[in-house]
Amino acid sequence: MSETRTVVLVEGASDKAAIEVLARRHERDLAAEGISLVAMGGATNIGTYVGRYGPAGLGLRLAGLCDAGEEVDYRRSLERAGLGSGLDRDGLEALGFFTCVADLEDELIRALGTDAVEEVIEAEGELGSFRTLQRQPAWRGGSTHDQLRRFMGAGSGRKIRYSGLLVAALELDRVPRPLDLLLAHVLSDRPSPLAG
């Protein structure tokens, strides 16, 4: 295992699982390449982790993935750490932080398509559970996309399990933009903004 040079900050274990599977599909060993994935236990913890690993802490190269709703927290924390000012989405991406339109599950469902996601659910033996959710009054008549997002978020460990399964089912040319760009960024040899 190589010494950590890059820390990738993600909201939770489902994001971490998706990145791990995508790296394996590209035949890359993140740990061996000095890249550590850190699930923060919620996006609101970004400031703590930027402080721990960023310029005021260990001085490591940082990157990350966030949901659109948490983008403001990421901007503020990175700016407070001295990694930019007036950051917009392009500025975040230049630092290696990429934003999912709604969340990672939304990105993955759109990339695969609802039929393919249902096939993954069926292969896991949970299509009956998904059909039950679809019949519930709160979800009946809703879009299959929204029903799938709800299904992924319900049930213990389901979000974590399915994020990896959905990435495994993707064609590599259909990987959602934020996930694809994040992996490319952390595997690049670009120096940290802290260097030099």
Short-list 98, 22, 34, CA closest to 63: 98
pTM: 0.90
Give backbone dihedrals phi and psi of 29, rounded to 5 degrees, phi first.
-110, 100
Q: In the predicted model, what is the mean pLDDT of residues 105-126?
A: 96
pLDDT digits (tens, 9 = 90+) for 149-188: 999 988 778 999 999 999 999 999 999 999 999 999 999 8
Short-list 143, 145, 151, 146, CA closest to 126: 151
Greatest CA span in the chain, whole angstroms? 59
Dist. CA 68–CA 74, nearest whole Å? 10
pLDDT digits (tens, 9 = 90+) for 4-39: 999 999 999 999 999 999 999 999 999 999 999 999
Q: Do 22 and 167 meet the contact criterion of CB atoms below 8 Å apart?
A: yes
pLDDT digits (tens, 9 = 90+) for 136-153: 999 998 999 999 999 998
DSSP-derived secondary structure letter, 191: P
Give the pLDDT band (50/70/90) at residue 193.
very low
pLDDT of residue 195: 38
Residue 1 reports pLDDT greater than 90: no
